[in-house]
């Protein structure tokens, strides 16, 4: 049995079931998600390899070969049509045109399930999915349950990496108008034991770790690479539970009465669905979502325990974040532009500014150094040592980073933000021919790009001038060679 079969036999059936990695019903063989590619805007649906099975990740790889892909729809497997699509503007605007949120890259969160390649939904700040017309989701004080499988190492303190029940207007309509799983280390509202991250419940105008508005020491910091998070709520009761999604069982971190603050008992749930954002379309958070469901009725602990056993049996494991030409840690490399007319130019820096410059074996030593980068293991903890950072050859301790999606060279301040902004994952160049493309670990839709000879972390056809779709593939494809210095 799969998760939604288990919830159904427990008398609390799924009313929404979302996953880009696998079927959540043993009989489900329909579309799991849709990807849209950058080259021609075409879309395709990714299905399980067989009924009840793992997503056909290789089909995505084939469809997206030589271009970029975005996850454009995460289908609802429950049959209720509660699909998740690009979130519209709400109380806050998203970064895309007309205030929409960003869509996730197709390749930011590769995994295997029992050895089969699949992709999760890597949510960067700015990314969000929503359904404001969902059917059959709990409203008012009705009971519901939720679980999600997340990456417990990918989080931040922005508001709010949520999955679950939110306002149909995209606006903050008051306390008790939401009920979602939250994951991260935001401390504006609640917190648990230690420094976080924590599984909390976003109940609107509050992230709750237990009955108290602020701290509840019973909610532990938890950061399993694959993390099962559970929130459920009914009339004057709710619970938070969590587990390692790769082994063992669920622990209960809170189970009891509604919070001791006005507006949360009874609840005023509205029945829309969010993923990766707050109820009011706050878009500051990051995290990774692999699968999750919402039920009608308050699931028993025993039902959830059986779901957790099924998640463990799915055998989630990490998959490579890099591909293409190998870079060797400790070596010095140069990256030469391959766009016609610019092939004598190399990725370089002039002080903090990143640009391309014409460099050759007869250039001055200073310029050679400015166009040479020492390859380091990716500084972002959550990249798991898989990706790379690029230290300036002439400024040890300074690294290539993105800031407002411009590339810069800056001295590391050691912060999580810096380390994540300075971590990049390599892949075979989008234009082929032995080149390499270098995407931002934290924003996998964005690649090292030269534009007007400046250096950017650019997306394919995004809102910035430097995101222009014209010559994107060539501008993000670099010939890698031994550094000049």
By C-beta, is 392 or 440 nearer to ligand AHR?
A: 440
Task: Tell me the closest approach of the beta carbon of residue 347 to ligand AHR, in angstroms.
Answer: 11
> Is the distance from CB of 200 to CB of 190 less than 8 angstroms?
yes
Least distance between ligand AHR and beta carbon 167 (Å): 7
* 26/215 with CB nearer ligand AHR: 215
Output the six-digit token pair for 423.
């971590």
| Burial label, 394 (beta-carbon count in 10 A; 0-12, 13-18, 19+) | middle
DSSP per residue, 222-254: ---SSEEEEEEEETTEEEEEEEETTSS--EEEE
| CB closer to ligand AHR out of 33 and 189 | 189
Residues of this chain that bind ligand AHR (CB under 6 A): 159-160, 172, 189, 202, 204-207, 278-280, 282, 339, 342, 402-405, 417, 421, 450-453, 471, 475
CB 484 within 8 A of CB 348: no
Output the CA–CA distances (angstroms, integers) from residue 252 to 110, 221, 240, in the order listed. 29, 13, 6
Q: Is the Cβ–Cβ distance between 206 and 190 less than 8 Å?
A: yes
Q: Are 174 and 140 in contact (CB under 8 A)?
A: no
Closest distance of CB 464 from ligand AHR, Å = 11
- Residue of 167, 204, 291, 304 marked catalytic: 204
Nearer to ligand AHR, 123 or 207 (CB): 207
| Nearest distance from C-beta of residue 4 to ligand AHR, angstroms | 26
Taking the complex as a whole, how short is the minimal distance between the CB of residue 439 and ligand AHR, in angstroms? Answer: 13
- Which candidate in 144, 280, 420, 474 is catalytic? 280
340 neighbors 36 (Cβ within 8 angstroms): no
Q: Which CB sits closer to ligand AHR, 250 or 285?
A: 285
Active site residue 204: yes
CB contact at 8 A, 393 and 373: yes
* Alpha carbons 271 and 134: distance in angstroms, whole number: 7
Chain Cα centroid distance, residue 236: 33
Least distance CB 376 / ligand AHR (angstroms):
19
Residue 301 CB burial class (10 angstroms; 0-12, 13-18, ≥19)? middle
d(Cα 219, Cα 242) in Å, to the nearest integer?
Answer: 10
Nearest alpha carbon to residue 451 among 434, 427, 468: 468
Compute the least distance from the CB of residue 419 to ligand AHR, in Å.
Answer: 11
**Which CB atom, from 262 or from 326, has the smaller least distance to ligand AHR?**
262
Triad 182, 126, 427: Cα angle to 5° = 105
Are 186 and 231 in contact by the 8 Å Cβ rule? The answer is no
Task: Name the residue number minimizing CB distance to ligand AHR.
Answer: 278
| φ, ψ at 288 (rounded to 5°) | -125, 135
DSSP letter, residue 269 = B
Nearer to ligand AHR, 428 or 457 (CB): 457
Q: How many helices (H) and strands (E) does the chain have?
A: 6, 32
For residue 208, the minimal CB distance to ligand AHR (Å) is: 9
How buried is 147 (Cβ within 10 angstroms: 0-12 exposed, 13-18 middle, 19+ buried)?
Answer: buried
Residue positions annotated with a catalytic role? 204, 280
């Amino acid at each position: 049995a799969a998760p939604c079969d288990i919830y159904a036999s427990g008398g609390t059936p799924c009313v929404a079931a979302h996953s880009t990695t696998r079927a959540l019903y043993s009989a489900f063989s329909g579309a799991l998600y849709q990807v849209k590619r950058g080259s021609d805007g075409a879309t395709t649906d990714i299905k399980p390899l067989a009924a009840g099975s793992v997503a056909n990740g290789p089909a995505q790889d084939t469809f997206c070969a030589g271009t970029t892909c975005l996850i454009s729809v995460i289908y609802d497997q429950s049959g209720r049509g509660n699909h998740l699509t690009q979130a519209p503007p709400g109380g806050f605007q998203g970064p895309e045109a007309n205030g929409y949120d960003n869509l996730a890259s197709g390749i930011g969160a590769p995994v295997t399930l029992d050895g089969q390649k699949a992709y999760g939904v890597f949510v960067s700040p700015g990314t969000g999915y929503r359904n404001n017309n969902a059917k059959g989701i709990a409203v008012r004080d009705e009971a519901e349950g939720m679980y999600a499988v997340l990456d417990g190492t990918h989080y931040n303190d922005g508001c709010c990496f949520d999955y679950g029940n939110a306002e149909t207007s995209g606006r903050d309509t008051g306390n008790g108008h939401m009920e979602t799983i939250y994951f991260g280390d935001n401390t504006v509202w609640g917190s648990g034991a230690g420094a976080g991250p924590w599984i909390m419940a976003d109940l609107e105008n509050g992230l709750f770790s237990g009955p108290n508005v602020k701290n509840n020491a019973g909610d532990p910091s938890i950061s399993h690479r694959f993390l099962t998070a559970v929130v459920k709520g009914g009339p004057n009761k709710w619970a938070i539970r969590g587990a390692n999604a790769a082994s063992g069982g669920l622990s209960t971190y809170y189970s009891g009465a509604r919070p001791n603050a006005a507006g949360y008992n009874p609840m005023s749930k509205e029945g829309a669905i969010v993923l990766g954002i707050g109820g009011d379309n706050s878009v500051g958070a990051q995290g990774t979502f692999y699968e999750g469901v919402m039920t009608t009725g308050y699931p028993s602990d025993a039902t959830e325990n059986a779901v957790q056993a099924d998640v463990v049996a799915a055998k989630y494991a990490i998959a490579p974040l890099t591909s293409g030409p190998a870079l060797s840690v400790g070596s010095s490399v140069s990256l030469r532009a391959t766009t016609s007319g610019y092939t004598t130019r190399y990725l370089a820096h002039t002080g903090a500014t990143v640009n391309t410059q014409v460099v050759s074996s007869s250039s001055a030593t200073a310029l050679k150094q400015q166009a040479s980068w020492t390859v380091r293991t990716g500084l972002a903890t959550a990249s798991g040592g898989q990706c790379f950072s690029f230290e300036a050859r002439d400024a040890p301790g300074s690294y290539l980073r993105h800031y407002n999606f411009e590339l810069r060279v800056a001295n590391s301040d050691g912060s999580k933000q810096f380390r994540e902004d300075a971590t990049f994952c390599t892949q075979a160049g989008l234009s082929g021919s032995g080149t390499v493309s270098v995407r931002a670990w934290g924003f996998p839709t964005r690649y090292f790009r030269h534009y007007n000879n400046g250096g950017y972390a650019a997306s394919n056809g995004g809102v910035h001038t430097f995101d222009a779709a014209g010559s994107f593939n060539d501008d993000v494809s670099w010939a890698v060679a031994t550094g000049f210095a």
